[in-house]
Chain A
Amino acid sequence: MRQDYKKLFSHLKVEEPPAHLFINILKQVEKNQRTYARNRFIFNTVALMVSVVALIPAVYFLISEMTQSGFYRYLMLIFSDSGIVANYWQNFGFLLLESLPVLSLTMVLAAFFGLFYFFRRILANSKFYLIKI
């Protein structure tokens, strides 16, 4: 049966797609690629700028919190009174941890990683952007 119907369907007229259709599809793909590349470039650049802008106050905040919590002074003890620090290293460790400005440190690290990540993305895609945009 299959052969019969296969033969029957071989009589079915096969429509030729218009000659320009192939080119139109590729042009449309190219157009979409350009739009995506532009949007990605804008997004990465804006995100990089936001990271840079956020990093500055985050660093100031970290310095201020390190001073206020006494972390900086405790840290300096390692160099000024290393003998005492060595004797009471467990207590000293807890003290350091307690005074660690976690919030501001997280903010600085987040901004720094954001900066690094988006900068890397821009660099990695720079060739693609230059061709497509």
Chain B
Amino acid sequence: MRTDEELAKLSLKDDKAFAELVSRYLKRIYNFVYRYVQNRNDAEDIAQGVFIKAWKNIKKFNPDRKFKVWLFVIAKNTAFDWLRKSRSASGGKKTLTFSQFETDEGENPLIENLEDTASLPPEIFAKKELEKELEIALKNLNPIDRAILTLHYSDELTFEEISEILGKPMNTVKSRHQRAILKLRTYLMHQK
């Protein structure tokens, strides 16, 4: 089986190679984008835009880099552009904070009182509507934190890859990951 990077190189001359890349990544990119925009129609348009941009720029792709990371960078930029536009269209009123527990200063007393962040308590997994609650908890995170968590745990990307995708230093990604995990855990633990 050919690697993504080989297929990307072949895509310059072979339409089937690009189609193979689309079929490999469509679901992941669609879900990644969906987590940002929270709307199926928009996610569809953006995912389509991501692959068209990838096709247009495939000549510029450096096969020494990972195709997966390169594609996710395009997806992140496209989704962020969309978010910026939609926020300015709605007059900037749309806020994406963990508002349920955060104070106006952005502090979260529940997080500060948490001592153990190493593992998740078993009662979380015993929840009947865990899927729904996890979805809501993620919605309440800001888009970058949401992206860090889903890229790391769902798409199984390393912090190094995530830092490349988001264009942020690895330490920033790690600390944001830690805070996002705390927020997520707090939400799930206090949700009845």
Contact = CB atoms under 8 A, between A and B. Distances in A.
B34 A15 contact: yes
Nearest to A33: B15
A5 B130 contact: no
Nearest to B27: A17
B51 interface: yes
B55 A15 contact: no
A30 B18 CA distance: 11
A5 B120 contact: yes
Nearest to A9: B153
A15 B52 contact: no
Contacts of A22: 22-23, 26
Interface centre among A6, A21, A33 (most CB of B within 10 A): A21
Q: B-side binding surface: helix, strand, loop or mixed?
A: helix
Interface residues of B, number: 35
B28 to A, nearest CB: 9
B135 A21 contact: no
A110 B117 CA distance: 72
Contacts of A7: 125
A8 B124 contact: yes
A30 B34 CA distance: 25
B150 interface: yes
Interface stretch (B41-49, B61-69, B101-109): B41-49
Contacts of B130: 8, 11
Contacts of A13: 131, 135
Interface in A2-29: 4-9, 11-18, 21-22, 24-26, 28-29
Interface residue tally on A, bucketed by range: 20 to 34
Interface in B2-58: 15, 18-19, 22-23, 26-27, 30-31, 34, 40, 43-44, 47-48, 51-52, 55-56
A124 interface: no
B26 A17 contact: yes
Given A8-B120, A28-B52, A21 B30 contact: yes
A126 interface: no
A12 B44 contact: no
A28 B131 contact: no
B189 interface: no
Interface of A: 1, 4-9, 11-18, 21-22, 24-26, 28-30, 32-33
Interface of B: 15, 18-19, 22-23, 26-27, 30-31, 34, 40, 43-44, 47-48, 51-52, 55-56, 117-120, 124-125, 130-131, 134-135, 138, 149-150, 153-154, 181
Nearest 5 pairs of A and B residues by beta carbon: A9-B153, A17-B30, A4-B120, A25-B51, A11-B130
